[in-house]
């Protein structure tokens, strides 16, 4: 399975945009890029995913580099509730097991 | 929809005891899986199932058994608990295993083995 690399931690101010980077230089053409987040003492929560094109949903935006070797999760206006560990994960399209391989993630803290 | 539910929320076992962690989902998802999360670490896959009657091993299957007799339920059995199995256990489900599917996670079971 292809690996991802994320910074261990990031800080943001409330109501400012946050850009969370992820490197995945060994990504294959059939790997989807997923982002999950885990709030303290809770299970992981799906945020967004994409394959090649940039994606938007109500929670966030996902910007994917043209060569797909990196991506950025964008939270447009951080709130205190967005403080969590964010995981960037590659999911193989054709693997029926569809397992999620979690790395260490990025711990995002949001200052009021 | 209740989503993915897990019971119990907390459990304390003595070394050598056995127990079953329960997981159920009401979304008619084919794919279900169990993860464990140790302090300060990401989740690691224990076992998964792609449908009723079909299970397979993940990264860390030793000491755990699973079975899938219905679409809704996917229990995880600890055969003989060891302190190394102290962890938080999460169950997840999705429509399928393909890379385009999002996974839904339960709230977790905190297990302590003394």
Q: Using one digit for the tens of pLDDT, what is the confidence trace for A21-63?
A: 999 998 888 888 999 999 998 999 999 999 999 999 999 999 9
Closest to B76 in 3D by CA, of B11, B28, B6, B12: B6
Q: How far is B82 from chain A (nearest CA, A)?
A: 23
Mean pLDDT value across residues B26-50: 91
Cα distances (angstroms) measured from residue B100 to each of A56, A98, B55, B90: 15, 9, 21, 21
A11 pLDDT more than 70: yes
> Could you check whether the bond before residue B8 is cis, i.e. omega within 30 degrees of 0?
yes
Q: How confident is the model over B64-88, as pLDDT tens digits?
A: 999 999 999 999 999 999 999 999 9
Interface of B with A in 73-112 (CB under 8 A): 90, 92, 94, 96-108
Question: A32-46 burial, b for 16+ CB within 10 Å, e for fewer?
Answer: bbbbbbbeeeebbbb
**Closest approach of B42 to chain A, Cα-based (Å):** 5
| Rounded (to 5) percent helix, strand, coil in chain B | 5, 50, 45
Q: Residue B99: list chain A partners with CB under 8 A.
A: 30-32, 34, 90-95, 98
Residues A1, A101 contacting (CB under 8 angstroms): yes
Q: What residues does A37 pair with on adjacent strands?
A: A45, A86
Confidence grade of residue A69 (pLDDT, cut at 50, 70, 90): very high
Chain B: residue whose CA lies nearest to A48: B102
Confidence of residue B12 (pLDDT cuts 50, 70, 90): very high
Which structure tokens are listed for B86? 């102290």
User: DSSP E strands: which ranges in A42-98?
Assistant: 45-50, 55-56, 61-64, 70-75, 84-92
Q: What angle do CA B23, B25, B30 make, to 5 degrees?
A: 105
């Amino acid at each position: 399975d292809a690996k991802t690399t994320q910074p261990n931690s990031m800080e943001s101010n409330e109501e400012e945009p946050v850009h969370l980077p992820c490197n995945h230089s060994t990504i294959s053409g059939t790997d989807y890029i997923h982002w999950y987040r885990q709030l303290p003492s809770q299970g992981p929560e799906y945020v967004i995913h994409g394959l090649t094109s940039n994606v938007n949903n109500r929670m966030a935006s996902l910007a994917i580099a043209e060569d797909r070797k990196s991506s950025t999760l964008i939270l447009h206006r951080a709130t205190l509730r967005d403080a969590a560990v964010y995981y960037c994960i590659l999911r193989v399209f054709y693997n029926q097991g569809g397992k999620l391989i979690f790395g260490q993630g990025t711990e995002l803290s949001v200052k009021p | 929809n209740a989503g993915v539910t897990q019971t119990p929320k907390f459990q304390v076992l003595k070394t050598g005891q056995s127990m079953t962690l329960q997981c159920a989902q009401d979304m008619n998802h084919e794919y279900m899986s169990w993860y464990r999360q140790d302090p300060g670490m990401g989740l690691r896959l224990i076992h998964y199932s792609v449908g009723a009657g079909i299970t397979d091993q993940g990264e860390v299957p030793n000491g755990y058994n699973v079975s899938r007799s219905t679409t809704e339920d996917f229990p995880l059995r600890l055969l003989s608990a060891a302190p190394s199995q102290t962890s938080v256990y999460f169950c997840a489900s999705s429509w399928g295993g393909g890379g385009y599917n999002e996974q839904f996670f339960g709230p977790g079971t905190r297990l302590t083995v003394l």
